[in-house]
Amino acid sequence: MRDEATTVDIGPVNLEGEGDIDRPADARGGPVAPAAGATSIVGGGDGRVSSEGPRPHVRVIHGLRRPANWLQLIRFTIVGASGYLVNLAIYYVEVHQLGIEYRVAAAVAWMLAALNNFVWNRHWTFSARDGQIHVQALRFLLVSLVALGFNLIVLTALVEGAGVEKFAAQAIALAASTPLNFLGNKLWSFRADLYSDPSPPQEN
């Protein structure tokens, strides 16, 4: 006899996307909630059971197999290069022309460059123009702040600890923080599930 209370429906794992599971939809187009007592099983290739989807490292491994992700990385690098030039140009003016303290100058330059990067990454790199911009912007800001913190740690260590010239130290610190910035935005800020309004259509 089939026990309906313990039956588990496992949808196919979408290895071409972000590792999400395709779930059946109800009559209104929204996702069907799992039955009471059911367990959501996600196959990540390591035999583990999870109710929250594949672990981040599994998603990264799956993502490396997609040529589209490498194209995104190339675009992200191009956008990052433009932000890199914006950052260094503003930083140079602040430090050498305006005499602003170098860590404050780095923070201001970073945030202005981040604004440049957000616009280009949203509209070009990740093609997320249809996403919820307020959610994307907030997540992008948080990722940028984490990357900025890492950037300042590296910058301070190079200037105060290693005696590297301030401009050269900022260039190195920016390069060091770029991978962290890309992964945060790829896997969180511009995730595919933020590309559209998740609310189901209203019934007539």
pLDDT digits (tens, 9 = 90+) for 164-199: 999 899 889 988 988 888 888 888 888 766 554 455
pLDDT at 57: 57
Q: pLDDT for 25-74, tens place per residue?
A: 554 555 555 555 444 444 444 545 445 556 665 665 665 566 677 787 78
Burial of 3 (0-12, 13-18, 19+ CB in 10 A): exposed
Q: pLDDT for 91-145, tens place per residue?
A: 999 999 999 999 999 999 988 988 898 888 888 888 776 778 888 889 988 998 8
Asked if residue 112 lies in contact with residue 191, where contact means CB atoms within 8 angstroms, the answer is: no
Question: In the structure, what pLDDT confidence band is assigned to residue 148 with cuts at 50, 70 and 90?
Answer: confident
- Who contacts 134 (Cβ-Cβ below 8 Å, separation ≥6)? none
pLDDT at 160: 94
pLDDT at 34: 53
| Average pLDDT across the chain, whole number | 74
Is residue 17 scored above 90 in pLDDT? no
- Who contacts 186 (Cβ-Cβ below 8 Å, separation ≥6)? 63, 69, 72, 76, 126
Report the distance separating Cα 32 and Cα 24, nearest Å: 6
What is residue 114's three-state secondary structure? helix
Quote the tokens at residue 33: 């909630």
CB atoms within 10 A of CB 78: 13
Question: Residue 26: CA atoms inside 13 Å, Cβ hemisphere, count?
Answer: 10
